[in-house]
């Protein structure tokens, strides 16, 4: 699984968008879409690529790692901004499917807050306020993602579709 959240821009990047005087990490402009598409293309072409490792608590890339498909015909690229590159990836022939997970909003809020607190991504008050804001904005986010070409689906449906893709393509040695 390729984590597209690792393609955030560094916190000192002057092109980062601002909202209420702070960096707006929930804006697609806080993310390096071009680099994400280039990496996906390299993975599709060569089966491996160097990918960034982003430390959210530090607001920057801290290293990189080799992502190797090990012969798999597919990989999953996931992240809040994945829908931003659906059209381009489709046009480049890099896309087998694009899905926006449809979950109960309360469950998403609890999962996100639990993860962010456990990983100490930011101060607890910041995480809670951000979580509430995202809870309110989630329907608009889903509408945006589907408007960009992702299909809204529950997790089980996405897993069924991915399994069907894999079943139709034998694994390479």
Q: How confident is the model over 93-107, as pLDDT tens digits?
A: 999 999 998 888 888
Instruction: Provide, rounded to the nearest whole percent, the portion of the chain with pLDDT above 90.
Output: 58
Q: What is the pLDDT of residue 122?
A: 82
Q: Which residue has the higher pLDDT, 77 or 130?
A: 77
Q: Among candidates 136, 48, 161, 150, which has minimal Cα distance to 101? A: 150
| pLDDT at residue 170 in the model | 55
- Tracing tokens 């980062």 back to the chain, one arrives at 16
**Mean pLDDT in residue range 131-156:** 91
Which tokens belong to 144?
């945006």
CATH number among 2.60.40.420, 3.30.2130.10, 3.40.50.300, 3.50.50.60, domain 2-167: 3.40.50.300
Are 154 and 103 in contact by the 8 Å Cβ rule? The answer is yes
pLDDT at 89 over 50: yes
Report CA dihedral (61, 66, 2, 109) to the nearest 10 degrees: -40
- pLDDT greater at residue 115 or residue 153: 153
According to DSSP, the residues that pair with 151 across neighbouring strands are: 99
Least confident of 45-49, 60-64, 169-173: 169-173
Q: What is the mean pLDDT of residues 41-46?
A: 95
Q: Is the pLDDT confidence value at 133 over 90?
A: no
Local confidence band at 172 (pLDDT 50, 70, 90 cut-offs): very low
């Amino acid at each position: 699984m390729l984590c597209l959240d690792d393609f955030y821009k560094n916190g000192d990047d002057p092109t980062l968008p601002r909202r209420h005087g702070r960096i707006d990490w929930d804006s697609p402009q806080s993310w390096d879409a071009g680099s994400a598409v280039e990496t996906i293309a390299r993975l599709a072409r060569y089966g491996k690529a160097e990918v960034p490792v982003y430390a959210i608590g530090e607001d920057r890339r801290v290293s990189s790692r080799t992502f190797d498909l090990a012969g798999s015909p597919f990989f999953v690229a996931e992240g809040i901004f994945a829908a931003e590159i659906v059209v381009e990836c489709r046009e480049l022939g890099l896309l087998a499917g694009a899905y926006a997970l449809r979950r109960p909003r309360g469950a998403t809020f609890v999962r996100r807050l639990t993860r962010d607190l456990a990983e100490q991504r930011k101060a607890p008050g910041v995480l809670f306020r951000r979580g509430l804001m995202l809870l309110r904005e989630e329907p608009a986010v889903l509408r945006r993602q589907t408007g960009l070409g992702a299909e809204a689906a529950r997790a089980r449906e996405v897993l069924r579709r991915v399994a069907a893709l894999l079943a139709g393509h034998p694994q390479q040695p």
